[in-house]
Amino acid sequence: MKKKKPLTAIQFNALAIITLVAFMPFAIAFITSAGSDSDGRYESSINGSTSTFGKGYWYDNGANYTSYYETEYPMPPGWYNCGYISNGQCGEDYSYSTDKQVFFSLGSSTSYTDVTSYTVKQNLQNVLEPGEYLGNSGPGPYGWLVFGDTFTGIEENESLDKIKYNFVDTFTEYLCDYEGFTDLEVKASLTFIYENESKVFDNYNMIVSNKYEYNRYDANNAHWGDACVNGMSLEFDFTGFESLSLTDFNGGEWSQTDHLIQIQSIERVDGINLGSTLLPFNGDGLFVFSAEHQEIDPVQAGFIIKSLTTVLSAGTFLLAIGSTQYWSPLMNTFKGRI
């Protein structure tokens, strides 16, 4: 039998480079998607109707236009102290309102699709009368802290693969080709808060549409049909190890884990100034909030992540040894034994 020739230096170098820039990234891609739900079906994260008062509060509500509203619609001092909310707190003048936070206080649950949602206040509903909204709240930041007990659809000990938050203004319908619908680039982050500790997932860049299409019953024409409204879905997709570390973080106690959803900035993809672009959570009215999620199999994901990382470590270590002059003596030592 013809003896195989050992690798030449150039062949080994080529192998090393291929391992580094091709094999390793693919192996890592496989590791990061370990255990992901492949059927792509979302489950509602909010089930049925629960007690709805104070299920969360506004954390940030856009740019500060308080001086504009004070000039345009004069009111008693302190009236607009919650017209601008930053880091979960209203403005500094608390003479009118004793609340430092604006709760999602309307709180009726509704099912506009097959997922349960909450009807909540738009960013300036608390301080403006209908029709007073400027039509613009700036490119951000926006944020909502939603309490853990809202998410009755996420079972305890479940590991999340993805979670999607829907913000939809179901109260005004548009033609589906309405020119106000556009694609937006959203920079967002998600923070889970459990027992005063937080776990942050940041640097998400999403391209989302401000058009939300769904099937609903049209009472005027007595039939089911598609409706196009102003809405936005923010999807946070976790890698396999992020899902597992998240479960480690809160021990799977989702009812006690608050979700802080933050939008750092919103820009139009077409480059036009955001201006008065339709955003479902801006205005002096209401919108609906819902959440959907996919779960991950933690046992399968843990096995794939740990075993593949071990293989990757062994391969990298062998590559390091193979890059030295000790490789040939080492192979000679094992020759005939394995």
Q: Which residues in this chain contact another protein in the complex, by CB under 8 A?
A: 9-10, 12-14, 16-17, 20-21, 24-25, 28-29, 31-32, 239, 241-242, 244-245, 305-306, 309-310, 312-314, 316-317, 319-325
What is the C-alpha radius of gyration for the chain, rounded to an integer number of angstroms?
26
* Cis bond upstream, residue 141 (ω within 30): yes
Q: Which is nearer to another protein, 20 or 272 (CB)?
A: 20
Q: Which is nearer to another protein, 176 or 320 (CB)?
A: 320
Give CA angle at 106 (192, 97), nearest 5°.
Answer: 85
Cα separation, 31 vs 204, whole angstroms: 20
Cα separation, 190 vs 329, whole angstroms: 52
Closest distance of CB 338 from another protein, Å: 21
Nearest to 116 by CA among 158, 163, 155, 153: 153
> What is the 3 state secondary structure string of 249-286?
HHCCCHHHEEEEEEEEEEEECCCCCCCCCCCCCCCCCE
Closest distance of CB 324 from another protein, Å: 6
Closest distance of CB 332 from another protein, Å: 17
Cα separation, 250 vs 158, whole angstroms: 11
Closest distance of CB 155 from another protein, Å: 23
Q: Which is nearer to another protein, 149 or 297 (CB)?
A: 297
Closest distance of CB 12 from another protein, Å: 6
Task: List the beta bridge partners of residue 146.
Answer: 56, 259
Closest distance of CB 24 from another protein, Å: 7
Q: Which is nearer to another protein, 1 or 21 (CB)?
A: 21
Cα separation, 121 vs 127, whole angstroms: 11
Structure tokens that stand for 146 in this block: 């939603």
Q: Which is nearer to another protein, 106 or 200 (CB)?
A: 200
Q: Which is nearer to another protein, 91 or 322 (CB)?
A: 322
